[in-house]
Amino acid sequence: MADKEKLTQALQAKKANMDDWYPEVILKSELADYSKVSGCIVLRPYGYAIWEKIVAVVDEKLKKMGVKNCYFPLLIPESLLAKEQEHVKGFTPEVAWVTETGNSKLDEKLAIRPTSETIMYDSYSKWIQSWRDLPLKLNQWNNVVRWEFKHPKPFLRSREFLWNEGHTVFASEKEAIKDSQEVLDMYHNFVEEYMALAGAKVKKSENEKFAGAVYSMSVECMMPDGKMIQGPDSHFDGQKFAKAYDIKFLNKDGKMEHAWQNTFAISWRMIGVLVASHGDDRGLVLPPKLAPIPVVIVPIYKDDTKKEVMKKAEEISKEMKKFGVHLDDREEYTPGWKFNEWELKGVPLRIEIGPKDIEKKSVVLVRRDTGEKSFVKMSELKDKVPEVLDAIQKNLFEKSKKFLEERTKTAKTYAEMKKLVDGNRVLVDFCNEPACEEKVKGELSAKTTGIPLDDKFNAAKGTGKCIICGKPATCKAYFSKSY
RNA sequence: GGGGCUGUGGUCUAACUUGGUAUGAUGCGAGGUUCGGGACCUUGUGACUCCCGGUUCAAAUCCGGGCAGCCCCA
């Protein structure tokens, strides 16, 4: 009971205290666990199953775009890492190094990859000779290490994390830009349609762009406390890396040119956003499209009805196999116990079947998102289950969208922004100068979470003066507290 | 970057102020009884009290350092 009380307390604190609720629900639902290494978490099978689903969907989408998977080494020689100045400056404070093996020191220390631009582009410079070698679209699903010094948080800020890193090369600027936009759209679609999270497509400010990029775009999500968090991103790198790593090709006219490049990524951080956004006082709430177990059947029986109930439950389970149904046939737990456990684990839909249901030739459906119970004829179950799963998916997204809209404000003055910035994202006229952004960081602990992009990737234009410095606004930008 | 809190079987916890090898629950194993919202009974199992050092006849308890987790502020 003590265990239960503790759990309930922490879980019921979601609204009041996210910081307590969030790690608790991750541990109790067996998504992940802490490890002996600070900032490095253990992804347990249930959590890994969600990651596998994310990988499966995104991987398929990438392949459709002509991206091929590959694998590059975990270790990167120091000399390679140092070639692109801005990139190095951005990453070296967080790099973990291998300096010795066994008892001997290495001549050149090796970086554990914080990202793989440097080692991949060294190969690219060899592989790309002619315009016929382009475009080159490679991706790897791997792990990277960034030794952050802020307090780690499972998924949201971990020192090692899983992600994909796509690195594409094109013969022209136009092609590269178009491709980076398609990638961002793909991620945006994934975030909204599969994760059921409202995602804002934005261009990053000068201050927040990726180290080495010409410009960066991302999908930004809002956490329940109104702080923004960066989701998947897509960067246009121009020819910066091509020049640093000597990636050149002979064009159709026989002239040597530097190639144009993009990079893009989505990480397991999104699992954290998913957990925090959809979860409630009972635990996780998973969107059907990413739930390892979308539907669970809980049989209810007494000794004399056990045989009959189980037979029917197995029958239904088989019939519904394609929806990913799991039959909880454990005998050592009572139905009530199972209800609670599966709710904690966020299973979107529960089917209850007991003697009374069999009599009426129906079952009880219970939605995780609303808690709503309904009675459904067994004969209609095959149509009803996908319908309800779909409704849950939509409902989660609509809730997320509404939340983001409610928490989106505009401000005309700095004072107004100061009032609104706690718990909202605030749209203002902005000059896009790093100095202005640093000022806001210092004074309000807030930063830009991007310049809004429309469907055609036009960045929102400024219509007056930057509300921070008063110089002409070159764009509109969202300011908010962020993760 | 600055400040604070915490660390005891797998989990949650009592004892810490006032030093004497650890309380209770949960979990786990076995058996029985139960099963429509975390049932119950019997019995068994499980902790060199985060690590290193110091003080002491004696340390979970006091002191120092480390590690880890959490919170607040910049």
How far apart are the C-alpha atoms of A306 and A360, rounded to whole Å? 17
| Strand B contacted by A329 CB (< 7 A) | no
Give nearest nucleotide to A353 (CA–C1'). B36
Lowest mean pLDDT among A2-11, A143-152, A195-204: A2-11
| Strand B contacted by A354 CB (< 7 A) | yes
Q: What is the mean pLDDT of residues A97-111?
A: 86
Checking if the pLDDT of A350 tops 60, the result is: yes
Q: What is the mean pLDDT of residues A423-429?
A: 94
Nucleotides of B under 7 A from a protein CB: 1, 10-13, 24-27, 34-39, 67-72, 74
| Strand B contacted by A375 CB (< 7 A) | no
| Strand B contacted by A364 CB (< 7 A) | yes
| Strand B contacted by A380 CB (< 7 A) | no
Could you say which residues 134-163 of protein chain A have a Cβ atom less than 7 A away from any atom in strand B? 149, 151-154
Whether the Cβ atoms of residue A288 and residue A267 lie closer than 8 Å to each other:
no
User: Which domains does chain A possess?
Assistant: 31-278 (3.30.930.10), 295-391 (3.40.50.800), 409-480 (3.30.110.30)
When the pLDDT of each residue in chain A is averaged and rounded to a whole number, the result is 92
| Strand B contacted by A298 CB (< 7 A) | no
Give A298-342 pLDDT, tens digit per residue. 999 998 999 999 999 999 999 999 999 999 999 999 999 999 999
Question: CA A2 – C1' B24 distance (Å)?
Answer: 10
Question: CA A220 – C1' B62 distance (Å)?
Answer: 51
Question: CA A348 – C1' B26 distance (Å)?
Answer: 28
| Strand B contacted by A117 CB (< 7 A) | no
3-class SS string, chain A: CHHHHHHHHHHHCCCCCHHHHHHHHHHHCCCEEECCCCCCEEECHHHHHHHHHHHHHHHHHHHHCCCEECCCCCEEEHHHHCCCHHHHHHHHHHCEEEEEECCEEEEEEEEECCCCHHHHHHHHHHHCCEHHHCCEEEEEEEEEECCCCCCCECCCECCEEEEEEEEEEECCHHHHHHHHHHHHHHHHHHHHHHCCCCCEEEECCCCCCCCCCCEEEEEEEECCCCCEEEEEEEEEEECHHHHHHCCEEECCCCCEEECEEEEEEEECHHHHHHHHHHCECCECCCCCCCCCCCEEEEECCCCCCHHHHHHHHHHHHHHCHHHCEEECCCCCCCHHHHHHHHHHCCCCEEEEECHHHHHHCEEEEEECCCCCEEEEEHHHHHHHHHHHHHHHHHHHHHHHHHHHHHCEEECCCHHHHHHHCCCCEEEEEECCCHHHHHHHHHHHCCEECCEEECCCCCECCCCCECCCCCCECCEEEEEECEC
Question: CA A1 – C1' B61 distance (Å)?
Answer: 28
The complex's ipTM? 0.88
Q: What is the mean pLDDT of residues A7-32?
A: 74
Reported as a pLDDT band with limits 50, 70 and 90, residue A90 is confident
Burial of A336 (0-12, 13-18, 19+ CB in 10 A): exposed
Could you say which residues 187-246 of protein chain A have a Cβ atom less than 7 A away from any atom in strand B? none
Reported as a pLDDT band with limits 50, 70 and 90, residue A16 is low
Question: CA A474 – C1' B61 distance (Å)?
Answer: 64
Checking if the pLDDT of A406 tops 90, the result is: yes
| Strand B contacted by A19 CB (< 7 A) | yes
Q: What is the mean pLDDT of residues A176-196?
A: 98
Question: CA A445 – C1' B71 distance (Å)?
Answer: 18
pTM of the predicted protein model: 0.94
| Strand B contacted by A16 CB (< 7 A) | no
Tokens of A473: 């606004």
Question: CA A341 – C1' B21 distance (Å)?
Answer: 38
Q: Cα angle at A206 between A202 and A207, to 5 degrees?
A: 105
